[in-house]
Structure 1
Amino acid sequence: MKFQNTGYYYLAFLVLAFVGFWPSYFSKFFDGSADFNQYFQFHVVTALLWVAMLVIQPILIRKKKFALHRTIGKFSYFLVPFLFISVLLLANNRISPDLEFVGPEFWIPFKDLVIFSYGFGIAIWYRHSMAIHARGMIVAGLALLEPVMVRVMYNVLGLQGTYPYILGISLGYVVLMVLIFLERNEKQGRWVFPVGLGVFLIVHIIRITGFNPDFWERFSHWFVSLPLT
């Protein structure tokens, strides 16, 4: 499996993101009610640039534009740290240190960084192995799926409660399990998706159960109390 068509899937994902964020973000620029601060806008720009890379890079491989693919890939070394910073600054800006329990709130954005770090780390470490590199990038891309799907459930479909959240995160599991099944006979890189599935399970179990050990609560409270924003 060479995953050369994943760019087109991420293009569809970009459309889905536009739909999911339309009520709470994009529509605000048309009705004049957009009042998003610079931290939110910074995050939007970095996230859109990352999705753009996910769309472009596999297409370049499909068209055998390897040199351009490598050049754009090097841009990720610059973009990804800024994407991380944007997530952390937004969390620092939006989460109040006065909450009774800060840890579970901080875990919501932080868990996506955990998933992303696993996928992107694999992709960079094995950048000379196309089979493993591509799988890592797919997992890194799936880190963005939950925020989009959850907003589709709440903003577009108007669902409420816990079950829409479960439905929202389920698509990532479905994608991973389908990929694991499809590549069951592959000889190289077959471990990336099963480990990624394990990472998904761990971070979501923590999220759903509200597991909040003392060290995490203290760290989270310290971080959101920093005068960063």
Structure 2
Amino acid sequence: MPYRHAHYYVLFVLAVIGLGFWPSYFSAIGHVPWQFHAHGIAASLWVILVATQSWTAHHNQLPLHRTAGKASLFLFPFLIAGLCAIIDVTAKGYVSGEGPVRSLFGASFLGGLLVAVAAYVTLYYRALKYRRTVWVHAGYLLGTPIILFESPFSRIMTDFLPAFAIRGPQDFPKIMATILWADALSLAFCAAVWLRYRDRANPFLVTGGFVALQMVAMGMMGQAAWLWRALRVIGEVPSASVVATGFAVGAMTSWAGWNAGKRKAVTGGAVAMGV
């Protein structure tokens, strides 16, 4: 089986999530918007599921592996819904004038989040479609925690690295710097995996492409007028509609990916010919 130590790397991402979101989420869990819960719970469960998939595949636990895989079909809509919940709270905060950070980086955040949605949908769809080709299936599924890595790791940088500490409004540009550095680290990891395994690791090139696109969206499109307009429009839409849209996208991805990966039916003529 490919990537036999992958579950340790995925658990590392889980530890990064715990540390990165401790100040803003876990330590204040009773005082945060519901959108944070929607994203935090779904994303954490998703990372645990990916680690479980990797561990079971390498420890001769294939029945449990298949069960967890089928469970992912039901979890994935909640993952995308949770991500759209973060889009919603970002847009609502911008429209209401909640804090200067969203006023400075709202469009960049929206651009990065939209790329993340596209990345999750693409990677998971292809993981399902190629689930009978182990290298391809594993590569695409293991790419999903990489998309998540940037957000908590950038927070670790601001919390624990003095050079990136936010001491006042004059340091707000460091927020974007930490995001880009975290994405650069993710991109370097994708490149390292591909350089080791080459063509067998082509799914990591796809993941790396999305990470690079996210860097462009967040680092270079922060002044795009259409993103600011989109942010305002989303801010005026009911939260339930934004989250439901994400859930529908996730559900359609699960359905389409599962059906795309089904074995093709053998025709009667092919059976008669011994194919």
Question: Shorter-chain TM-score: what band?
Answer: 0.7 to 0.9
Unaligned runs of at least 5 residues, structure 1: none
User: Is this contact kept in 2: 1:176–1:197, CA < 8 A?
Assistant: yes
> Which of 164, 172, 186 matches 1:172?
186
| Structure 1 segment 61-210 matched on structure 2, within 5 A | 61-95=57-91, 96-97=94-95, 103-158=107-162, 159-160=164-165, 161=174, 162-184=176-198, 186=199, 189-210=200-221
The whole-number CA distance in structure 2 between the counterparts of 1:70 and 1:210 is 41
Measured after TM superposition, the shift of residue 178 of structure 1 is 0.4
CA displacement at 1:136 relative to structure 2: 0.1
- The whole-number CA distance in structure 2 between the counterparts of 1:217 and 1:37 is 22
Pairwise CA distance, 1:226:
0.3
TM-score normalised to structure 2 length:
0.72
**1:3 equivalent in alignment to 2:17:** no
Match of residue 42 from structure 1: 38
Against the structure 1 CA distance between its residues 122 and 212, is the aligned structure 2 distance closer, same or farther, given a 3 Å change threshold?
farther
Unmatched 5+ residue regions in structure 2?
Answer: 98-102, 166-173, 241-275
Please tell me the root mean square deviation across aligned C-alpha atoms, in Å.
Answer: 2.3
**Counterpart for residue 264 of structure 2:** none
SS state of the match for residue 179, structure 1? Answer: helix
Pick the structure with greater CA Rg.
2
Question: How many residues in Structure 1 have an aligned counterpart in Structure 2?
Answer: 222
Aligned-pair CA distance for 1:89: 2.0
Instruction: For residue 43 of structure 1, report the CA deviation from its aligned partner.
Output: 1.4
Identity among equivalent positions (%) equals 22
Amino acid in structure 2 at the alignment position of 1:56: T
Whichever structure has more helix as a proportion of its residues is 2
